[in-house]
Structure 1
Amino acid sequence: MSDEQTETGTGWPQPAGPVRPGGPAGEPDPRPDAPDPDELSPLAPQVPAEREPAEDSGVARVDEGATVDLSGVSPSGGSAASVEEPATPVTSAARGRFRMSTAGVMIVALLALLGFTLVVQFKTTSTDPTLGATRQEDLVRILSDLDARENRLQQDIRALEDSQRQLRSGEQGRQAALDEATRRADELGILAGTLPAVGPGLTVQFESGGKPISANQVLDAVQELRGAGAEAMQISGGDRATVRIIASTFFLDGENGTLVVEGRRLVAPYTITVIGDPATMRTALNIPGGVVASVQGVGGNVTLEERGVVEVSALHAPIKLEHARPVS
């Protein structure tokens, strides 16, 4: 028997293995570098030593928070375990960018809507459907009427400036003031209807058709004439009854197609006698959609006649003052 075999007592030799040196059974090895007896036991769990991952290796390191899905592993070990990567968390910066982009889209949409609204409003206000459908001849008449009004206002301004200069001119101041006061008194008397007036003007006759002439139509004519520079007016009925028209004159629809002016009943046809610029007043009455068109729309007729001299002779009773008195 060789030195590498030992006797087992069974008749079979046992190969020589690592012999545990030591003293009596159960005693630890007295050598300082001797391994732990428990480590040599085949029943002790083998704990692998920790290894640092190689920096240059191509094996990806599994995160500690990763979850291992073992559902695909077969009992025989034929399928490898799949590793699920943890879901990427949505950071506050990403949420902020998302909110900013949504707010920007809403702001742009609101600005576009605001711009569209402004454009539509500008087109609506800058376009006059009445003038857009007006003929060229009517536009010329309207422009002529506006020019005449401007010229009349310029003349009034020059007259007032001359009166101001005369009142400030020293020796002539007193006489000029007296003349100016007389002139203003005459003008106010004509406007108040307490004085008769003579001058160039126009006669406007209303003839009814299927419907009687209404008070609103006559009032519209009076307002158009005033706007065109009328200085004195009176209205007459078919029975020759005449009423002076002043600022406080009112018109009402009477019975049986009559017209009530200042409480006095007039029968058709009605004639307005007015002093002023005949051409300007004619243009004002013939404006599209104005007095003439309104009367003709109900079957009536308006006749305009220019005269070099017309007389407004009807007078309005002066108002009796109860409390006011002139200052000397």
Structure 2
Amino acid sequence: MSSDETPPVGPEPDPKADDEVDAKPDPTTGHEFDAEPTTPHAPEDDQVRTGWSRLWRAARPRLTRANGYITVLAALLGFAMVAQVQETRSSGLENLRQEDLVALLDGVNQQSLKLSKEADRLTRTKSQLETSGGDEAALKAATERLRTLGILAGTLPATGPGIRITIGDPKHVVKPSDVLNAVEELRDAGAEAIQLNSVRIVADSYFGTAGGDRLMADGTSVGAPYVITAIGDPHTMSTAMAIPGGVVESLKQMGAKPSVKSAARVDVTALRAASTPRYAQPSSS
């Protein structure tokens, strides 16, 4: 090179520049980044991390209005199920008070004792008839049996301890089914003789209406107040009438005015004429 030529001006080339990787600008941020990462990752690892990340975002709870509604509905449904289970468990005798259960148990025990005494009496009568060989014992047993059957059939008057139920009906809401429920409840409580106003109630008694809303018992018209007289254990029968959801409470809810009074002696004086069964005949067995 001649002395007239001028050397080019500028930084001297760096020999290490060829060994470095060219930097390229990031089109989104404007910063430079290496074209090749210093620590490369396997594609399988990136896919696993991406899958777990998506799963976490999908399962992560989100506080939205829809989720709030679903939570409230689920809570209400659970409460309703618990209430239904408790109500089902409380059905039957479980909803009675302790004194009511004691009274019912006492009535059952008395009925069992009464039946046991009746069985003993019949056993003694049978033994007397088998050993005496005379007609006097047989006549006495037949007479006692006839009196018992006369009371049950309503052909003989009866007296003894019992209760008297008076049902006022100012709103004319008492139906034949209500009277039937009262009679059935008394029978279940051990009533041995029942009378409604002037009508003797027996096994084949029936109730209905005539002339609009006038109540009929065995074809006889009966008017309010309805008076039901029953002979039996007063405590057992009065407790059966006062059971929650029973006869007295149901009548009160309807608008009637029932009252129950126990007595050491009540009289059942109404009688039924003896009738011969049309279809039933004594069995030879």
Q: Compute the displacement of 1:194 (Å).
A: 0.8
Relative to 1, partners in 2 of residues 1:255 and 1:142: Cα closer, same or farther, differing over 3 Å? farther
Question: Which residue of 2 is the match for residue 23 of structure 1?
Answer: none
Question: Which residue of 1 is the match for residue 64 of structure 2?
Answer: none
Question: Which residue of 2 is the match for residue 281 of structure 1?
Answer: 237
CA distance in 1, matches of 2:279, 2:194: 29
Q: Compute the displacement of 1:309 (Å).
A: 1.6
Give the gaps of 5 or more residues in structure 1: 1-119, 237-241
**Superimposed CA distance per residue, residues 17-49 of structure 1 (whole angstroms, 9 cap, x where no aligned partner):** xxxxxxxxxxxxxxxxxxxxxxxxxxxxxxxxx
Instruction: For residue 315 of structure 1, give the secondary structure of its aligned residue in structure 2.
Output: coil
Relative to 1, partners in 2 of residues 1:184 and 1:317: Cα closer, same or farther, differing over 3 Å? same
Question: Which residue of 2 is the match for residue 145 of structure 1?
Answer: 104
Give the gaps of 5 or more residues in structure 2: 1-81
Question: Which residue of 1 is the match for residue 26 of structure 2?
Answer: none
Question: Which residue of 2 is the match for residue 161 of structure 1?
Answer: 120
The answer to whether the Cα contact below 8 Å between 2:125 and 2:141 also exists between their aligned partners in 1 is no
Q: Compute the displacement of 1:185 (Å).
A: 1.1
CA distance in 2, matches of 1:156, 1:183: 16
Q: Compute the displacement of 1:211 (Å).
A: 4.3
Counterparts of residues 72-91 of structure 1 (less than 5 Å): none
Say if 2:90 is the partner of 1:128: yes
Aligned counterpart for 1:203 among listed residues 158, 161, 164: 164
Instruction: For residue 199 of structure 1, give the secondary structure of its aligned residue in structure 2.
Output: strand
**Superimposed CA distance per residue, residues 56-100 of structure 1 (whole angstroms, 9 cap, x where no aligned partner):** xxxxxxxxxxxxxxxxxxxxxxxxxxxxxxxxxxxxxxxxxxxxx
- RMSD across aligned positions (CA): 2.8
Q: Compute the displacement of 1:280 (Å).
A: 0.7
Instruction: For residue 294 of structure 1, give the secondary structure of its aligned residue in structure 2.
Output: helix
CA distance in 2, matches of 1:133, 1:323: 43
Aligned counterpart for 1:290 among listed residues 246, 254, 258: 246
TM-score by length of 2: 0.62
The answer to whether the Cα contact below 8 Å between 1:244 and 1:316 also exists between their aligned partners in 2 is yes
Q: Compute the displacement of 1:264 (Å).
A: 1.2
In terms of fraction of residues, the more helix-rich structure is 2
Greater relative contact order (Cα 8 A, min sep 6): structure 1 or 2?
2
Structure 1 counterpart of 2:225, one-letter code: P
CA distance in 2, matches of 1:173, 1:156: 27
Q: Compute the displacement of 1:289 (Å).
A: 0.5
Instruction: For residue 168 of structure 1, give the secondary structure of its aligned residue in structure 2.
Output: helix
Give the fraction of aligned pairs with identical amino acids, expressed as a percent.
Answer: 37
CA distance in 2, matches of 1:131, 1:164: 36
Instruction: For residue 177 of structure 2, give the secondary structure of its aligned residue in structure 1.
Output: helix
Structure 1 counterpart of 2:190, one-letter code: G
TM-score by length of 1: 0.54
Relative to 1, partners in 2 of residues 1:153 and 1:288: Cα closer, same or farther, differing over 3 Å? same
Aligned counterpart for 2:143 among listed residues 168, 177, 182: 182
The answer to whether the Cα contact below 8 Å between 1:230 and 1:275 also exists between their aligned partners in 2 is yes
CA distance in 2, matches of 1:295, 1:326: 41
Say if 2:177 is the partner of 1:245: no
